[in-house]
Amino acid sequence: MAYIIYAIKSSFDNRIYVGFTVNLEKRLKEHNQGKTKSTKGFRPWSLLYNEVVETRLEARKREKYFKSGCGKEFLKNK
């Protein structure tokens, strides 16, 4: 099973949220419907970046990278 690491950007205040999933379309819809507590108050969200990896461990490592200072800078330049 492949995992998708994604970054979404809030149209409300330009904040960036990073996560991973196996179904990106469904997950983005959940964010925009307010079903995710941490993103509920900052809707609407749009997809900023995504990449596919093969394992959950790889997905977790990439997610941690994108949440770091270097990773956030990479995403801000997208």
Q: Which domain holds residue 72?
A: 3-76
pLDDT band with cut points at 50, 70 and 90 for residue 78: confident
Quote the crossing angle between the two packed helices 56-67 and 69-76, to the nearest 10°.
80
Supply the CATH number for residue 58's domain: 3.40.1440.10
pLDDT of residue 12: 95
Q: Where are the beta strands (DSSP E) in 1-78?
A: 3-10, 16-21, 45-53
Q: Read off the tokens for 39.
A: 């993103």
Q: Are 12 and 44 in contact (CB under 8 A)?
A: yes
Which of the four pLDDT bands, split at 50, 70 and 90, describes residue 4?
very high
User: Closest by alpha carbon to 19, among 54, 44, 56?
Assistant: 56
**How many domains is the chain built from?**
1
Rounded Cα–Cα distance for residues 23 and 54 (Å): 14
pLDDT in tens, 25-77: 999 999 999 999 999 999 999 999 999 999 999 999 999 999 999 999 999 99
